[in-house]
Structure 1
Amino acid sequence: MEFFAVSVEAPQEWAARGVAGVPTSADWLSQFHDAVMVDLVNEALTNSPTLESRAALVRASKAFARAARSQRRPSVSASASAGVTSTSNNFGGNSDRSTDGTYGIGLDASWEVDLWNRIGSGIGAADADLVASQADYAAAELSVAAQTAIAWINLNEALAQERVAVLTFEARDRVRTLTERRFQRGLADALDVRTARSALAGSEATIAARRQLSGEAARRLETLVGRYPSAEIQAPAEIASLEVITPEGNPALLLSRRPDIAAAEARITAAGLRAEQARLAMLPSLRLTASAGTNTTEISDLFDPEQIAANLIAGLVQPLFTGGNLDAQRDAAVAQAESAVANYAAAALDAWREVENALAADILLANQEDAQARALEEARLAEELAERQYTSGTITIFNLIDAQTRRLNAESLLVSARASRAANRVAYHLALGGGLPTGTGSSQSVIMDTPKNAALRGRS
């Protein structure tokens, strides 16, 4: 068998933190302390059409593996025939025609001796395909879980942003009322009134825009969990506060945790075995054939041992000239194996990049969240001060609206920062190949097996 080496070097620690950690907990969703999120993920895993499609592909791979193993067994076929034979006799000027029935049965068997393990290579390739499809299913499970968790975070973010817009509308409505009263007392002019009303209308438009986004987020989540997208799902408009990530595992261990890497590794095995199978197809093949049957004019003689004719033949076939077909098939199989190796290397690099990105982003997002929280506190104090000063007539309405706008922006940015950090945490655990909630019936056990062991298990 040709050997296809994978050369991907992994450091012993994560560059983003400069440390190596311990393997992560399988139930990463528990870190969010959100029972609704866990329930939604379980619902998505139960109802996802994507997973149904992947499960069907696993069943197909199992069937292909059974078909490959069947090639090592003899094939037997039976036949039966019935006919009429008409004979014309002309004797002494008299013509006579006789009609006789003919009946036959036959049994044919053939078996190819796997001299060079060509059939065995095909069986191994089919088993590796099965492992790859199982790993693909595990990767799809993780993806669906992560998409659902992020969709839940996005819905809470959208509702929180909508709530900020409503609070801003209420604040600007108070300013509009105050300005109109001041105008009636001659303490404000028409410009102030128009400005207050314009700011209020702008806040109303913001509410409509954010309500549209929250509806879209709700329908997105409902679709993921298999519900009709009616935007009826409820959420508290809250995003969990998270601790800073403690780096877990190391780059080398990551490759044994991720199902997409397991799938890529299994595809290397399958492609390598098919390249070997294509090479062995150029060698002689030995086939044993046997047949037995009867052909008689009497039905009662069909099963008469004296009427049965049988033969047994052993044939050795060596391909001599195929127009270059076998060479081309071998070259194509080798090229596909080389492609599988390159795909594995690309998948490994992508996996490391995703973890490094998530680790680096967590630090920056934590700093951003902290700074934005301080900015919001200052903006709220400034808004309160501006309201008092406007009421007393020491500042203009433009100063007040500017203060309100700063508070709105600061609160909106804080919501976005928390949501981004929560979504990044989900992406981090997805990049690590983290597990799923207990009791989901996850198939992820396959990712902890080598392709060889999993393939052997699949044969039982």
Structure 2
Amino acid sequence: MTRSILLISSAILTACASSQANLPGIDGNREEIFAVAPDAPAEWANTGVVGTAPTGDWLSQFDDPIMESLVREALANSPTLESRAALVRAAEASIRTARSQRLPSVDGTISTGVTSNAFEIGNDLERSTDGIYGLGLDASWEADLWNRLGRGIAAAEADLAASEADLAAAELSISAQTATAWINLNAALAQERVAVLTYEARDRVRILTERRFQRGLAEALDVRTARSTVAGAEADIAQRRQAAGEAARRLEILLGRYPATEIEATADLPALDPLIVESNPMRLLARRPDVASAEANVVAAGLRAEQARLALRPSLRLTGTFSTSESEFADMVDPERIAARVVASLIQPLFTGGRLDAQRDTAIAQAESAIANYANAALTAWGEVEDAIAADTYIAQQEDALLRALEEARLAEELAERQYTSGTITIFNLIDAQTRRLTSESQLVAARASRASNRVSYHLALGGGLPVQTAATPTQAPQDNAAE
């Protein structure tokens, strides 16, 4: 990718070289212009892995047919994808527009009118009124002397490649958002289930405390405390149900449904295998559709910069006019009465008030911006993969630690309940033991959801592996000969 970017930079270099005064520090040296483009390392920093990028269906690792069906539904119904697909069609039409500029343009006219003239005959003033009928044909054509129009065609083709890449990126994003939203909905329902278990545990303590109070084994403070924890658990259930409803509506919107909170989920989170890191940073740039879009934008901007520079050169235009203007309708279509004129003009801009220079400098600055955006896209892509790789390791460690913490908290809660029943500890000790168990359970749900979401983010960062055929077509680089 970096090598291909350097190879297509000649158009930008030529444009920049023609305006050195306006671009400090750029003298047409390729390495200087692309100094902002980072060099890709040979392997991922977090694992030292090299290899081939995964090409399979990454959704299959979750072993969740519902998730896969929801992703299909989202891809079929997303308004965002419809918008992106329309932009692709617009880019295709723009190519036709650019190509048409190399062809002659022909306009036909038909006219009719009346002329009235006054003249003297002797001492009398007479007036003559006659009809006028005319046919006209105007043709013009500009020779592409410097391949300026060819640059415009190639730039339009690069715009199409960028639009197709944007569509592919949107499809991948919608897939990832849908999978993540499904994970979040299940996590929210799992947290709601934990909240219900919390309420049940708190209520058991309340019942036990009230019985002990009736037998004179507990104080009123213990009863009030137990009832307070029950009320707090009720409030937490309401909060968790609100969060679950919001998660369901977010998912329904992604699916193109009305957000009625009608979608059902099992509250189960996937148990994932360890992450097997594949590919390498350099191959990543060939997979990410957003990087492909940024590269296509560099191509288009460079070609337009060169096109703006060539606008300062002379242009050759041929114009032709064929027309008749007769007073009789029948004479209007008489071939012998046709007047014709053909003119070839060589036009050199002399003074435009600085407009062409400003347009050239604008195009060069936009090309430089596109290069910087490409560098930023590459760095962002690498950073996202490195983050996801590191996060999977740390979240897996959290999950393992939380599993052990939950097991110990359960045993501690059981022991605390027995000791409270026998009167050897206070209600505060029991509540504290319950809280540790319930907190560990809630944290474990959050860690599993976070790991599943991070796994989706990892494959999103790698840029590929959709489970269905989509509207996006493979992004192709502009043909070199289009600009020749």
Amino acid at match of 1:234: E
Query: Residue in 1 aligned with 2:22?
Result: none
Cα deviation, residue 177, structure 1: 1.0
Would you say the 8 A contact 1:435–1:444 is kept in 2?
A: no
Cα deviation, residue 444, structure 1: 5.4
Q: For 1:2, which of 6, 12, 33 is the aligned residue?
A: 12
Amino acid at match of 1:438: V
Q: For 2:254, which of 218, 224, 236 is the aligned residue?
A: 224
Query: Residue in 2 aligned with 1:167?
Result: 197
The answer to whether the aligner puts 1:87 opposite 2:80 as a matched pair is no
Query: Residue in 2 aligned with 1:320?
Result: 350
Q: Secondary structure at the match of 1:388?
A: helix
- Rounded to whole Å, the distance in 1 between the matches of 2:114 and 2:237 is 90
Would you say the 8 A contact 1:125–1:271 is kept in 2?
A: yes
Q: Deviations over 1:285-338 (max 9, x none)?
A: 000111111111111111111111111111100111112221111111111111
Amino acid at match of 1:2: I
The answer to whether the aligner puts 1:443 opposite 2:453 as a matched pair is no
Amino acid at match of 1:65: I
Q: Deviations over 1:246-287 (max 9, x none)?
A: 111100000000000000000000000001101110111000
Query: Residue in 2 aligned with 1:215?
Result: 245
Query: Residue in 2 aligned with 1:124?
Result: 154
- Rounded to whole Å, the distance in 2 between the matches of 1:180 and 1:132 is 70
The answer to whether the aligner puts 1:391 opposite 2:421 as a matched pair is yes
The answer to whether the aligner puts 1:273 opposite 2:303 as a matched pair is yes
Q: What is the TM-score normalised by the length of structure 2?
A: 0.91
Cα deviation, residue 90, structure 1: 2.4
Q: Secondary structure at the match of 2:168?
A: helix
Amino acid at match of 1:278: A
Distance 1:444 1:89, change over 3 A: closer
Q: For 1:401, which of 427, 431, 436 is the aligned residue?
A: 431
Bigger shift: residues 398-407 or 86-95: 86-95
Q: Secondary structure at the match of 2:474?
A: helix
Percent pairwise identity: 67
- Rounded to whole Å, the distance in 1 between the matches of 2:260 and 2:426 is 45
Query: Residue in 1 aligned with 2:138?
Result: 108
Query: Residue in 2 aligned with 1:255?
Result: 285
Q: Deviations over 1:179-221 (max 9, x none)?
A: 1111112222211111111111111111111111111111111
Would you say the 8 A contact 2:49–2:279 is kept in 1?
A: no
Query: Residue in 1 aligned with 2:7?
Result: none
- Rounded to whole Å, the distance in 2 between the matches of 1:444 and 1:353 is 27
State the Cα RMSD in Å.
Answer: 1.5
Query: Residue in 1 aligned with 2:103?
Result: 73
- Rounded to whole Å, the distance in 1 between the matches of 2:468 and 2:357 is 51
Q: Deviations over 1:118-165 (max 9, x none)?
A: 000011111111111111111111111111111111111110000001
Amino acid at match of 1:407: R
**Can you give the 5+ residue segments of structure 1 that lack an aligned partner in the other structure?**
none
Bigger shift: residues 278-287 or 389-398: 389-398
Query: Residue in 1 aligned with 2:362?
Result: 332
Query: Residue in 1 aligned with 2:5?
Result: none
- Rounded to whole Å, the distance in 1 between the matches of 2:133 and 2:478 is 53
Query: Residue in 2 aligned with 1:37?
Result: 67
Would you say the 8 A contact 1:68–1:126 is kept in 2?
A: yes
Query: Residue in 2 aligned with 1:434?
Result: 464
Would you say the 8 A contact 1:62–1:130 is kept in 2?
A: yes
How many residues are paired up?
Answer: 452
Matches within 5 A, 1:359-438: 359-438=389-468
Q: Secondary structure at the match of 2:393?
A: helix
Cα deviation, residue 399, structure 1: 1.0
Cα deviation, residue 346, structure 1: 0.7
Q: Deviations over 1:354-410 (max 9, x none)?
A: 000000111000111011011111111111111122122222111111111001100
Cα deviation, residue 451, structure 1: 4.2
- Rounded to whole Å, the distance in 1 between the matches of 2:119 and 2:354 is 57
Query: Residue in 1 aligned with 2:8?
Result: none
Cα deviation, residue 442, structure 1: 4.4
Would you say the 8 A contact 1:281–1:326 is kept in 2?
A: yes
Query: Residue in 1 aligned with 2:211?
Result: 181
Cα deviation, residue 96, structure 1: 2.9
Would you say the 8 A contact 1:379–1:407 is kept in 2?
A: yes
Q: Secondary structure at the match of 1:290?
A: strand
Distance 1:452 1:381, change over 3 A: farther
- Rounded to whole Å, the distance in 2 between the matches of 1:328 and 1:406 is 68
- Rounded to whole Å, the distance in 2 between the matches of 1:325 and 1:195 is 80
Distance 1:255 1:452, change over 3 A: farther
- Rounded to whole Å, the distance in 1 between the matches of 2:303 and 2:387 is 36
- Rounded to whole Å, the distance in 2 between the matches of 1:159 and 1:127 is 48
- Rounded to whole Å, the distance in 1 between the matches of 2:231 and 2:473 is 52
Would you say the 8 A contact 1:76–1:110 is kept in 2?
A: yes
Cα deviation, residue 80, structure 1: 1.2
- Rounded to whole Å, the distance in 1 between the matches of 2:436 and 2:464 is 40
Would you say the 8 A contact 2:53–2:284 is kept in 1?
A: no
- Rounded to whole Å, the distance in 1 between the matches of 2:471 and 2:381 is 21
The answer to whether the aligner puts 1:139 opposite 2:169 as a matched pair is yes
Amino acid at match of 2:477: T
- Rounded to whole Å, the distance in 1 between the matches of 2:114 and 2:98 is 42
The answer to whether the aligner puts 1:244 opposite 2:265 as a matched pair is no
Would you say the 8 A contact 1:262–1:451 is kept in 2?
A: no
- Rounded to whole Å, the distance in 2 between the matches of 1:220 and 1:31 is 23
**Can you give the 5+ residue segments of structure 2 that lack an aligned partner in the other structure?**
1-10, 14-29
Would you say the 8 A contact 1:21–1:246 is kept in 2?
A: no
Distance 1:234 1:59, change over 3 A: same
Cα deviation, residue 94, structure 1: 3.4
Amino acid at match of 1:193: V
- Rounded to whole Å, the distance in 1 between the matches of 2:334 and 2:144 is 36
Bigger shift: residues 259-268 or 57-66: 57-66
